[in-house]
């Protein structure tokens, strides 16, 4: 390991990020913000009673026993444990991935903890309540987007960042490889 860095003998290898798990603070922040906002929504809003904030945005407390867009919500309860297992597995897998990211993958270092934090925030709800607390409701011209929460926002932002890093990171690596030849 030259210069004390985690670099294999291959001169084209990219060094791994030093202490990548330090980025898990972001996952913790997402969980705290998510659970705090869900607590406030649950204690201040009446169930399914919209509170208009803007002409296109309401705060509406809803309980979702399914997944995104109420997927599998009408089933008798097995989906609670199914989605809990998926959240645990994804969080473990993404944490392992985070521990192995390369030095130049900063966006990935943000994306993975966002997804982990969102998954854990919704996992808490599933395990404690048997449903996920949603309260952010956007609508226009009689059409309502499914309600969601802070955890869902974090998962979505993390997924977008993950896709962006996948596309742009590969381009960046190819460009760097071409420049070094």
Determine whether 152 is an active site residue: yes
Cross-strand bridge partners of residue 132: 64
Under a CB-based contact definition with an 8 Å cutoff, are residues 60 and 148 in contact?
no
| Of 104, 162, 123, 128, nearest in space to 34 by CA | 123
Catalytic residue among 10, 34, 125, 134: 134
For residue 18, give the DSSP letter: S
CB-based contacts of 33: which residues, under 8 Å, 6+ apart?
150
Q: Give yes or no: 10 in active site.
A: no
Q: Where are the beta strands (DSSP E) in 106-157?
A: 132-140, 143-144
C-alpha closest to that of 41 among 150, 166, 175, 167: 150
* H/E run at residue 173: helix 150-179
Contacts of 64 (CB under 8 A, 6+ apart): 70, 73, 131, 132, 133, 134, 147
Please identify every residue annotated as catalytic: 134, 152
């Amino acid at each position: 390991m030259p210069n004390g860095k985690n670099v294999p003998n291959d001169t084209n290898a990219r060094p791994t990020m030093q202490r990548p798990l330090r980025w898990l603070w972001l996952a913790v922040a997402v969980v705290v913000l998510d659970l705090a906002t869900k607590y406030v929504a649950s204690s201040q809003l009446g169930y399914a009673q919209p509170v208009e904030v803007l002409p296109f945005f309401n705060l509406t407390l809803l309980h979702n026993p399914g997944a995104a867009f109420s997927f599998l919500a009408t089933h008798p309860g097995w989906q609670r444990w199914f989605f809990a297992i998926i959240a645990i597995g994804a969080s473990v897998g993404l944490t392992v991935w985070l521990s192995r990211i390369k030095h130049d993958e900063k966006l990935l270092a943000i994306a993975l903890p966002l997804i982990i934090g969102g998954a854990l925030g919704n996992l808490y709800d599933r395990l404690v309540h048997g449903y996920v607390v949603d309260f952010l409701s956007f609508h226009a011209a009689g059409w309502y987007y499914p309600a969601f929460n802070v955890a869902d926002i974090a998962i979505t932002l993390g997924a977008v960042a993950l896709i962006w890093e996948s596309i742009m990171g590969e381009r960046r690596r190819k460009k760097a490889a071409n420049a070094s030849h």
